[in-house]
Structure formats: structure tokens, C-alpha cells
Amino acid sequence: MSNAQRLSADPKPDEMDFYDPQTVSQVDYTPPAAGWMATKPDFRPGTWIYPGKAKHLEYLGMANPRDWSPADEDWKLPENWKEILLNGIKERLEKYRSFQLFMDLCVRCGACADKCHFFIGGGDPKNMPVLRAELLRSVYRNDFTTAGKLLGKWAGGRELTVDVVKEWFYYFFQCTECRRCSVYCPYGIDTAEITMMGRELLNLLGLNVNWIIEPVANCFRTGNHLGIQPHGLKDTLEFFAEDIAEVTGIELEIPLNKKGADILFVTPSGDFLAEPGVYTCMGYLMLFHELGLNYTWSTYASEGGNFGLFTSHETLKRLNAKIYAEAKRLGVKWILGGECGHMWRVLHQYMDTMNGPADFLEVPVSPITGTRFEHAASTKMVHIVEFTADLIRHNKLKLNPSINDGLRVTWHDSCNPARAMGILEEPRSVLRNVCNNFFEMPPQTIREHTFCCGGGAGLGTDEFMEMRLRGGLPRGNAVRYVQDKFGVNRLACMCAIDRATLTTVCDFWAPGVQVTGLHELVANALVMEGQKERELNLRLEPLEDLAGGDEVTSGE
């Protein structure tokens, strides 16, 4: 939705126009006079997300389905809520060395404090990663350590109360699990791990948000977060094919649930529906057609993303299981994955362990270049950007980067691919081959230092608008910097959540900059066999209008 469409006379807290950049950026970093244990969170609209609906929890067989609201005094917790939580903590301490260590190790040096985008843009001290973890650690110390049992508050312990649970809900759903703080921590304490445990514990009481639970329920049933049914997915992809035909004059095939394909392609469903992700999805179709790839989409495994990651390890595994199951059913050789952020955290760090071994698949080999992707020898899943970078390196694609000359592009490293994988050079190498104007944002804001869009980990919903804009400040401000300095008008990224949420972040902090996926740029620059002369880009915008480089405010 564009800025203009959203304008209304009386904007609400879930609309961007309710806020203005000057006011939001007046951040007060002064901590409250009272200590943090005595300060309760302020549940104001714009800072929390609507609770998970009972029907979704019931469908998934999850705890305590009911109607409730964080705004109510009574959260309708089970009677033995405290016992459930303390047992839950105990179980996880025994099952995860990470959790046990991260409870014990922190020296509160504060290196992480100003690394969180929510703290930088909001100033709430409990958004300092160290303090977010202390919310849980204080209970751990009180109930699980000798010092805490003996000395209580003097050992940094505090009793687990309903108010503490409410505070957990507020702050564990104000963390996007982006792992930026973990880069700077001298002991590698990873707040994503803390938040994941916190959310697992909250889920034991039926405390979760609908923006996560509904996609999880959808994905369990229909195969994707959006709840697109098989025939709907076919319609969607055919609709893309029509637009592609309009742009290129080429009619392409859409292989769906095809047995005997070599490759199963899985991508986040966000790109089936939301702009600008749809253009990236069209890009995949065009690339695969041009290569003559023997591949297939799946309606059953029609989701690469996994909101189970934001719920619990068990939910994560339940949803992820479909990918290998479908690869096995269809008899493919290996799996190719689309542009997404947290999807790649799951595929890279969890899938093989949870649902492997994938011994029914083969080590991925590019049928075009012959490159054997040894680094994916066990998982058997390759990132589309690795695949495309390899194609370009071997000169297998005919590219006309000048078609993107109207664009002045910067690159946003998405959190999970950067900090849970390290895919940094592959996209840059692709980008340099498909456009001629590429400018980096400041070094403290890219690569492993990259900033979150503010809406990751299931927080990218409109009722969370204030926090999204605050959390988006560091990223938006870096975009603004290259916009002013180099005339950047396009922010490229390889994450479906980014494509949805950064659009708002740019509209607010760097108006004039649009968001694009990498394969949208690839497809625009791709010279296809038998194509007509390109007059439109994938957004159906006349190239002529763009060539002049509109919105370029200053040149190099």
C-alpha cells in the first residue's frame, strides 16, 4: 500500500501517519528513577500485538486456547501457571546448553546495550539486550541458584509473579531475534536464544500473538502461512505468468507438484501475495524458464518461512517437516530455496538436525554449470542467490544491467542470512552484475553489523506500528544517508519480511526509496531467448520513464 492510499483524516496508532519522524526520533534514553524490577511495561497501542485466537491454538493442539487481551487485567492463565513455567524453565535448562550458559555467564558489561534497534529508536532500557535477558535471568537466579534462594533480591533474584509474566510477553514480543547483540557479546550470548526460550515458556500458558499463530495454523493446514489453497497457488503463479508474458512476450510453464523433477523449489509465501515480493517471485519463474530447469513448485510445501521459529522448537519442527517429506514424495534430487531471512536460519541451522538426514536426496549439483555445492552436501538445499551467483560466474546468463540504470541501489543484509549463515558476498556479486549503480550503506550498518527491519520474528504487523518505526530507525536512517549522499532510490534485499516491512520503514524514514528483491533485478536484466524488446519492467512501469533516473536527488 502506498503512502498516499493510507492517508486518512484521523490516523490510528496502527497507521504510519499517526506518527511523525521528528517526534518519534526525540528519544529519551534516561532510565526511570525507579529500579527496573519495580517498573511495569506500558501497554499502549502500537507497542504490542493482538493475542493468538483460540481457534488457531485449538487447531494446533496448543495450550490454553481462549479469548483474552493483553489490555485486560486478567489474562486467564491456567491455575497452576507458576508450576508450568518453573517446570518449563527446568526442562529447558537441562535440554539446552545455550540456555543454561546464557543464564549464568553474563557479566552485564553493557556492550550489547546500544546494539538493539528497538533500544536505539525507543530508549526503553528493557530493550537493551542485557536487560531483556535479565527479565528471565532474575527468575532463574531466584528459583534455580543457591545464591538466589538464600539472598533473593540481593543476589539479583525476583519472584515469578503475574506481572513478571506480562513483562515477558511485552518484551519477548519486542525482540526480532536478529542476533545483532550477539555479535558484540564477549561470550556470544545470543538474545535470540533467550527470546526463543521466553516465547516457548509463554506458549506453555497460551500466551502468543495472532500475527504468528495464525500463519502457523495456516501453514500446518494448507502448507503456507497465508493459507493459500492448492488451486489458489496455481492461480497466483499463472497470474504472474500473464504479467511476465506482457513484459517479455514469453509464455512459461508452471510445474506444480511434478514428480520426476530434479529440483524442488521452496520460497516464502509472502512473495505470492504482497508487493514488492511478487516481482521477486516472477523473477524466479523467468530465471528457471530461461535455464530450462527441470524443477517443481509444491502446493504442500509451499512455504519456506517458518513462524514456528517464533513459537517453539517443536512447532518449528512440525512445520519444517513438510519440506523433506515433499522432496521425498516427489522424488527430486535436491532442494533450492528462495530469498528469505528467517527461512534460512531454519534451513541452515535447524532443518537437517530436526528432520534429517536427507539421505534420499543427492548432493546438489547445478545442472547448468556442473558446480557441486559441497557446502550443502548434507542438507541438500541451496540458496537461490548461491545458485544464481554461480550461474553468473560461469557466464550462463545473458544480462543487460543497463535496464536497471534508472535505479540507484543499496543492499540490505537481512539479519538471519548475515548472522546465522554469512551469505554476504554472493548477493553483492549478483547485484554488481545486474545493475550499474550500487552503493553501500555505512559499514556499521551492513554485513554482520546489519540492522533489522524492525518487523522480524513475527512482529511485522500494523498494530505494532510504533515499535516497528522505532525499530526501523537505524536501518531507515542508513538508507536515508545513502539517499542523500548517492541519490539511492532502491533498497534491495533478500528477505520476504524485509520486502513487506522495509517498505513502511523507507516511507517513514527515507521517503522516495522503494524496496526490491534481488531476483526482481536479476529478471529485469535477464535477456531471455525469444523475448520481445523490453518496454516495461516487472512492475509494469515503462522503462523509458525510469531511465532518466527519477527521484535521483544528487549524483556522484
128 binds another protein (CB under 8 A): yes
- Give the residues across from 296 on adjacent strands: 264
478 binds another protein (CB under 8 A): yes
Binding-site string for another protein from residue 479 to residue 498, where x marks contact by CB under 8 A and - marks none: --x-----------------
97 binds another protein (CB under 8 A): yes
Answer for which of 252, 256, 291, 368 binds another protein (CB under 8 A) is 256
146 binds another protein (CB under 8 A): yes
Residue 536 CB neighbour total at 10 angstroms: 16
Distance CA 145, CA 165 (A): 20
Contact (Cβ atoms closer than 8 angstroms) between residue 137 and residue 131:
no
Closest separation between CB of residue 118 and another protein, Å? 13
Answer for which of 46, 51, 70, 156 binds another protein (CB under 8 A) is 156
Judged by CB under 8 A, the chain residues 6 through 25 that form the site for another protein are 21-22, 25
Residues 6+ away with beta carbon under 8 Å from 191: 112, 116, 129, 132, 133, 175, 177, 179, 181, 182
Residue 176 DSSP class? -
Judged by CB under 8 A, the chain residues 183 through 212 that form the site for another protein are 183-190, 193
Q: Is the peptide bond before 78 cis (omega within 30 degrees of 0)?
A: no
Distance CA 214, CA 225 (A): 8
User: Total residues contacting another protein (rule CB under 8 A)?
Assistant: 120
71 binds another protein (CB under 8 A): no
What is the per-residue burial (b if ≥16 Cβ within 10 Å, else e) of 66-75? eebebeeeeb
356 binds another protein (CB under 8 A): yes
Residues 6+ away with beta carbon under 8 Å from 195: 132, 172, 175, 177, 457
Name the one range near another protein by CB under 8 A: 80-88, 203-211, 370-378, 398-406.
370-378
Answer for which of 3, 294, 429, 436 binds another protein (CB under 8 A) is 429
239 binds another protein (CB under 8 A): no
Judged by CB under 8 A, the chain residues 309 through 348 that form the site for another protein are 313-314, 317-318, 321-322, 325-326, 329, 347-348
Going by DSSP bridges, is the β-strand pair 409-412/334-337 parallel, antiparallel, or unpaired?
A: unpaired
Q: Is the peptide bond before 443 cis (omega within 30 degrees of 0)?
A: no
Judged by CB under 8 A, the chain residues 47 through 66 that form the site for another protein are 61
Answer for which of 143, 214, 386, 463 binds another protein (CB under 8 A) is 386
Name the one range near another protein by CB under 8 A: 124-132, 397-405, 460-468, 542-550.
124-132
Closest separation between CB of residue 533 and another protein, Å? 33
Closest separation between CB of residue 49 and another protein, Å? 25
Answer for which of 63, 84, 86, 155 binds another protein (CB under 8 A) is 155
Going by DSSP bridges, is the β-strand pair 514-517/490-493 parallel, antiparallel, or unpaired?
A: parallel
- Say how many CA atoms lie within 13 Å of 11 toward its Cβ: 19
